[in-house]
Amino acid sequence: MSSLRTHDDTWDIATSVGSTAVMVAAARAGETAKADPLIRDPYAEVLVAGVGPGVWDIVRNEEFAAKVAEADAEVAAIFEHMGNYQAVRTHFFDACFTAAATAGIRQVVILASGLDSRAYRLDWPADTVVFEIDQPKVLEYKAARMAEHGVLPSAKRNAVAIDLRLDWPNALREAGFDADAPTAWLAEGLLMYLPAQAQDRLFEQITALSAAGSRVAAETVGHRSDDRRAEFREKFERIAAQFGMQDAPDVAELMYNDPDRADVAEWLNAHGWQASAVTSADEMRRLDRWVLPPEQSDEDGFSSFVTGEKLG
């Protein structure tokens, strides 16, 4: 279990798990600013800039990246890999939503949506409804920031302000969710912050709410040994000390390292879905975004991307 988490903890956009949403948005902003980006998120910079000073200011700074490369090639590769991972992950799940819309699905649920901007930036069919579920302060911040800049959603956006450890299915229904209509679900950047039993419960709830033809997409949790976690923490501390990032959250300490966690694709296939998985390493290599040397290619430690369709 994570040493920084409790079963009743909460957060805003700049603390605990909320701060990881800012770092992910910063990665999207950095990717968007490249000459030939894999994904384009025109709102990522807007969302990050309003949070206030933090490590996210450092990680999307090109001058900082150059200084890291000059000082420590290994650390530079890790930074580049982390940014590439976020771009590839975003690219993969964007494609899942595009495919779901093409198949006629008009109801979308983004779980723990954080600073996800898909309700604003994707080209949704006119009658699409996007439900975003997250902590109240996180949703409030995003809505206010977008409104300040005159940004309107490209679908009907319904914010559902509730912790996923509470009765979110009822809150979702009260927000207008139709359990009889096919739904496209997304659990991106979420499962690692849940213990194993909570992960199972989440997919039980998704299954109960899903009509035939519904689709689910999820990022799984990589399996790292305690030794690998300790090694990662040591590298993180070295990076933080070397480049003035002492205030950065130790993301590994926010996660639940649960050895009893179910394989998501296997769980779905056993509970009325037809599911498959692709490793993030394979997807990164397919898109020519893998930069780590062979000695750091512990693929079990990296996530997989799972997709599934609810059977009739």
**How much is the pLDDT for 272?**
98
Strands 215-219 and 304-310: antiparallel
In a domain, residue 219? The reply is yes
Report the Cα–Cα distance between both ends of the chain, in Å, rounded. 37
In a domain, residue 271? The reply is yes
- The whole-model pTM stands at 0.88
* Residues sharing a CB contact under 8 Å with residue 221, sequence separation 6 or more, in sequence order: 191, 192, 255, 261, 303
In a domain, residue 24? The reply is no
* Residues sharing a CB contact under 8 Å with residue 143, sequence separation 6 or more, in sequence order: 159
Taking Cα atoms as reference points, which of 288, 311, 306 lies closest to residue 81?
A: 288
CB of 302 within 8 A of CB of 78?
A: no
pLDDT along the chain (312 residues), means of 10: 47 58 91 94 94 68 69 75 94 98 98 97 97 95 96 98 95 98 97 92 98 98 67 68 62 69 97 97 95 69 92 92
In a domain, residue 278? The reply is yes
pLDDT digits over 126-139, tens only?
999 999 999 999 99
pLDDT digits over 210-258, tens only?
999 999 999 998 766 566 666 666 766 776 677 666 555 555 556 677 7
| Burial class of residue 1 (count of CB atoms within 10 Å of its CB; 0-12, 13-18, 19+) | exposed
In a domain, residue 2? The reply is no
**How far is 137 from 216, CA to CA, in rounded Å?**
26
In a domain, residue 136? The reply is yes
- Domain that residue 217 falls in: 103-310
**How much is the pLDDT for 73?**
72
**How much is the pLDDT for 1?**
39
Taking Cα atoms as reference points, which of 99, 231, 111, 235 lies closest to residue 162?
A: 111
In a domain, residue 218? The reply is yes
**How far is 50 from 73, CA to CA, in rounded Å?**
32
CATH of the domain at 272: 3.40.50.150
Domain count, the chain: 1
In a domain, residue 60? The reply is no
